[in-house]
Homo-oligomer: A and B are copies of this chain.
Amino acid sequence: MTRLTASHRSDYSLFRTLATRWGDVDIYGHVNNVVYLAYFDTAINGWYLDEGMLRMGKSEKIFLVVETGAQYFAEIKFPDTVYAGISVMRLGKSSVTFDIALFTNDAETACARGQYTHVLVDQQTRRPVAIEGHTRHCFEKYLVKPLSG
C-alpha cells in the first residue's frame, strides 16, 4: 500500500463518534490495531443506519466489505473518545471506497487512516447490484478528490 499521510479534521465533513472499551487495550497498554478496523466498521454501518441506507436485518441489498486497511500514526488509549472522519474516495456502479481517519479527543491530526471498500450485493445471491437513489445521493454528498497520499 502507498504510505498515507496523517490527515486532519478539516479534510472531512462527515464525522461519527466512537467509544473505546476496556478490552480494546492489549498487553502494550494501547488499543490493539485490530480494534481500529472495528471502529471503521461501526462508523460506516452506523452512518448507513442513521441515514436509512440500510435497515438492520431487513434490507434486501446489503453491503459487504471487499477490502479494508489502516495505517497507524499514534496510539489510542482507553477511555479516549474517537472521532471518525469519513469521505468517499471512489464511487463505482456497485462499490464505494471510503477514506477514514480516526482522531482522539481534541486532536486535529489523525492517529490512524485507512481505506474501506464496500460492495452492495443482493442478500440472497450475494451478487453485486447497482448503488442507486437515496444511497447514491448520500455517497455523492461526501465524494471528494482523494487527498494526496
Contact = CB atoms under 8 A, between A and B. Distances in A.
B62 A67 contact: no
A99 to B, nearest CB: 12
Contacts of A64: 28, 72
A73 to B, nearest CB: 8
Contact of A68 (B19, B28, B69): B69
A82 to B, nearest CB: 10
Contact of A78 (B56, B65, B115): B56
A138 to B, nearest CB: 16
Contacts of A37: 33-34, 37, 68
Given A1-B1, A67-B70, A67-B71, 4 more contacts: A21-B42, A23-B38, A28-B123, A66-B72
Please name the 8 residue pairs, one residue from A and one from B, whose CB atoms are nearest each other, closest first.
A69-B69, A19-B19, A33-B65, A29-B57, A22-B45, A21-B42, A34-B37, A22-B42
